[in-house]
Structure 1
Amino acid sequence: MSRLNTNQLSLSYGSRQIVQELNLSVPDGRITALVGANGSGKSTILKSMARILTPVQGGVYLDGKLIHRQPTKEVAKNLAILPQNPSSPEGLTVRELVSFGRYPHQKGFGNLSAEDNRMIDWALHATGMTTFSGRPVDHLSGGQRQRAWIAMALAQGTEVLLLDEPTTFLDMAHQMEVMTLLEKLNKEQKRTIIMVVHDLNHAARYAQHLVALKDGTVLYEGHPEVVMTSQMLREVFNIDADIIPDPRTGAPLCLPYGLAEEPSEETPVLSPTSGARSVEPQEQRVQALA
């Protein structure tokens, strides 16, 4: 059974419903990428999984228990989130930032324990930030700063990491730096990672599980080689694109050409369903690749 899943989850901002009756299971020990156009509900779902947003109906379950009914500190020992564009107080050093990840494990306002310091040292080492530990966070490059925040999440000692657009506003080199780190954490430490990603080629290359959303509904779900199709791109993103295998990795590579044309009345159109599309050959492919 998946450690993290949703059951009939409905989410709203005021009177505006964003997600309706979502059923989603996050594969343990894998990288899952949520993709979709702006406003499709990706970040909203992630916020609900992190207890930042309370459901209108249904719920998010962590280890079979409703996450919104569990004590905050208990949730924080199992799940860490890196929000979009996090900020820190001016002058805060990298080590001080990473030490905040130990808060769920502390009692009162006591000093850091030997175990806390061990975890901080490990998180700095795992992210390649040890040599930057005494440097102010606001003096770092974009990629270094993002790695510092990931180190803080790692210091929590959780098996599940939620990341909301971890490469936003980073140049190409820093994007690769962050994505390679996440891949390493997943492969070497079996971390379960759920991330919202805008770059479809990053999603297809680094994730083992893709969830394509439109209007708060899962239209496609499964291995990138199955989900990343021209049909999915038309339905979810309204673009025309070719999909070719990456010459180095074999992962599906998206080559967009323009906006999709509106279908004529004679052109059959598949109607959306309340869940992910079910196509037998695709299901067989997912099972074969799982």
Structure 2
Amino acid sequence: MIGLTNATVRFGSRTILDGLTFAAARGRSLAILGPNGRGKTTALRAMLGFQPLNSGIRTAPSIVGYVPQYASSNQSYGVLDVVVMGRAAGLGLFGQPTPADIAAANAALDQVGATRFAGERFDRLSGGERQLVLLARALATGSDVLVLDEPGSALDLHNQQRLLTLLDDLRQQRDRAIVFTTHDPNHALAAADDALLMMPEGEALFGPVEETILPHHLERLYGVAMRMVDLSAADGAIHRCVLPAFAGRRAA
């Protein structure tokens, strides 16, 4: 499990988080949504232990698989080396990767469909490819908690679909807690069990996706009219999605 209980964070005279409580249990996936400046990143950093709390309780395991929002492209490490870095916590200060560590890294690359990159340099991959490698690194930690900071923000629609499909596959295995931040409620519909909506007035709404990712809640969250629609997939399945009022072109 990972989460915060009655957490408060202040920056000077400004209160960013005020008694915030939420958690992702093992076997559940949580999406955190909110407008710019509301505190999504602060909540994520506090949950990870990067941001001290003024009050409240943080609950987290000693090792968390973390995928940052942006992956630097100026690191000339090999892809396999980057993924093996996820095993660092178990190696000690001067430890060297063992065959078991290499095997775990290769298994993680295979799990995210990135085995073909194993022999390449990390800085020569595209943004979407680097994101997959960092997800493999997070999985290689062996932690049962996976945290991703806006994983789809820099990805095109095709790579967003790949990432969300992978996150949903991981969710359905029910063997870890998954937390990710996003600006797109459709990401929550695609890959989350629960959602935390950080309302602009300071309130937070936490609960199952079916009860939180609804037009009237999202209109309060973003100040934009929303509509829920059903789309038919190529395989005949029906997918629920959310459209803002500005989507599409106005009729002449």
d(CA) in 2 for partners of 1:83 and 1:148? 12
CA contact (8 A) 2:27 2:173 kept: no
- The one-character-per-residue Cα deviations of 1:262-282 (angstroms, maximum 9, x if unpaired) are xxxxxxxxxxxxxxxxxxxxx
- Return the TM-score normalized by structure 2: 0.89
Q: For residues 51 and 14 of structure 1, what CA distance do their matches in structure 2 show? A: 19
Task: Render the CA deviation track for 1:115-168: whole Å, top value 9, x for unaligned.
Answer: 212211211111112221110112112221110001111111101011000011
For residue 256 of structure 1, what is the aligned residue in structure 2? 244
5 Å-filtered alignment, 1:99-248, equals 99-188=84-173, 190-215=175-200, 217-248=202-233
Q: 1:62 to 1:33 in 2, by over 3 A?
A: same
| CA apart distance, 1:232 | 0.7
RMSD (Å) for aligned C-alpha atoms: 2.0
Structure 1 unmatched runs, 5+: 64-74, 259-290
Residue 92 of structure 1 deviates from its aligned partner by 1.1
Instruction: State which drifts further: 215-224 or 25-34.
Output: 215-224
AA matched with 1:155: A
Deviation string, structure 1 residues 4-48 (Cα, Å, up to 9, x no partner) = 231110112343221001111223212110011111211111111
1:22 aligned to which of 20, 24, 28: 20
How many residues are paired up?
244
User: What letter corresponds to residue 61 of structure 1 in structure 2?
Assistant: T
2: CA distance, partners of 1:177 / 1:198: 17
| Larger-Rg structure | 1
* Structure 1 residue 219, shift from structure 2 partner: 3.6
Is contact 1:22–1:217 with CA below 8 Å preserved after alignment? no
Structure-1 separation of matches of 2:210 and 2:37: 25
Normalised by the length of structure 1, the TM-score is 0.78
Partner of 1:239, secondary structure, is: coil
Structure 1 CA distance for aligned equivalents of residues 203 and 76 of structure 2: 42
Q: 8 Å contact 2:7–2:53 — kept in the other structure?
A: yes
Rounded to whole Å, the distance in 2 between the matches of 1:188 and 1:201 is 21
Once residues 84 and 215 of structure 2 are traced to their aligned partners in structure 1, the CA distance between those partners, rounded to angstroms, is 45
Structure 2 distance, partners of 1:250, 1:210, is 21
The AA in structure 1 aligned to 2:22 is L
Q: Give the whole-Å Cα distance in 1 for the aligned partners of 2:19 and 2:204.
A: 13
The CA distance in 2 between the partners of 1:241 and 1:128, in whole Å, is 35
Pick which of 230-239 and 248-257 moved more.
248-257
Q: Matched residue of 1:92: which SS?
A: coil
Match of 1:68 in 2: none
Structure 1 CA distance, aligned partners of 2:13 and 2:50? 18
What is the identity percentage for the equivalent residue pairs of Structure 1 and Structure 2?
30
1:40 aligned onto 2:28: no
Structure of greater relative contact order (alpha carbons < 8 Å, 6+ residues apart)? 2
Alpha-carbon distance between aligned partners in 2 of 1:167 and 1:138, rounded to the nearest angstrom: 19
1:218 deviates by 4.7
2:174 and 2:105 map into 1 onto residues whose CA distance is: 16
